[in-house]
Structure 1
Amino acid sequence: MNNPIPAAGLKDLLLFFLGRRRLFQVEGDSMLPALQPKQRLLVKSLAKPDQPPSPGTVVVCHHPSDFNLVITKRVWHSTETWLELRGDNQDESTDSRHFGPVPLDRVIGVVTAVIPSTSRKIDNR
């Protein structure tokens, strides 16, 4: 059920610069090991706002009780009007098991790619 998310390629970056993808960042440990804290994600809007993403898809959405809080979770179950979301690291995740189903209109988009980390160790010898 855990679909892997590919690294961003040239096409993904071009779509970002053309405004067809949005950039978000993972906060916290709830999506480990698939997504690391501070990892950046490219997200596309739902193709059809009335068609829910399939189980296994990672989405970015507004928290159901705090619109200002943006969360990244995996779709566990979906209907035409709501999603049940779970974090991959269930011991560290606050998700639908705690706050219930998330209305489909809270979904910002589907994660299409991760941007590989550019951090490098510098040898100062």
Structure 2
Amino acid sequence: MREAWAGQRRSVPYQLVEVTGPSMVPTLQNGDWLLVQHVRSAAEVREGDVVVLRHPLQQDLLIVKRAVERREGGWWVLGDNTFVENDSREFGTVPDELVLARGRGRFRPPREVQRSVAGVAGWLASCVRPLRADRSFSRRLRAR
């Protein structure tokens, strides 16, 4: 994930970050932009939220995952892409202090130049989406 995170957590409540990697496909794709809201405590996170957190084993690395459930010691987080295991299945629960932000919305830039009105209209209809825990989380569970 690309971002300018240092010092932002306390001064700005919202921030845009670029998503890199396949772990949250289909919800988030490589190159998507994520609007995040910084959290003061992990108590602000709800089950099903897309969260930005520090990787528990490599804390200079920020990752995006879905907060699945509270467990003793923190949050159990999973990627939406079941084929990528860089999540709690690998590193266990994530301590509360490593949870930095909740995803609030996704912007998907155009992948190619749109040459038709229908192409532009289709992209406009899908380029901005709110990230609602109840909607996307339940879809992911049904798909498994």
Instruction: State the TM-score, normalizing by the size of structure 1.
Output: 0.74
Residue 94 of structure 1: how far off its partner (Å): 0.9
**Among residues 99, 102, 107, which one is paired with 1:107 in the alignment?**
99
Higher relative contact order (CA 8 A, sep 6+): 1
Cα deviation per residue 1:95-115 (whole Å; 9 max; x = unaligned)?
000011101110110001112
Instruction: State the TM-score, normalizing by the size of structure 2.
Output: 0.65
Is this contact kept in 1: 2:42–2:99, CA < 8 A? no
Unpaired segments ≥5 residues, structure 2: 1-10, 116-144
Q: Aligned residue pairs: how many?
A: 105
Residue 53 of structure 1: how far off its partner (Å): 1.3
SS for the counterpart of 1:51 is helix
Letter in 1 for 2:54: H
Rounded to whole Å, the distance in 1 between the matches of 2:92 and 2:72 is 16
Rounded to whole Å, the distance in 1 between the matches of 2:27 and 2:21 is 12
Identity of aligned residues (%): 31
Over aligned residue pairs, what C-alpha RMSD do you find?
2.1
- In the alignment, which residue of structure 2 is the partner of 1:43? 36
Structure holding more helix per residue:
2
- In the alignment, which residue of structure 1 is the partner of 2:22? 29
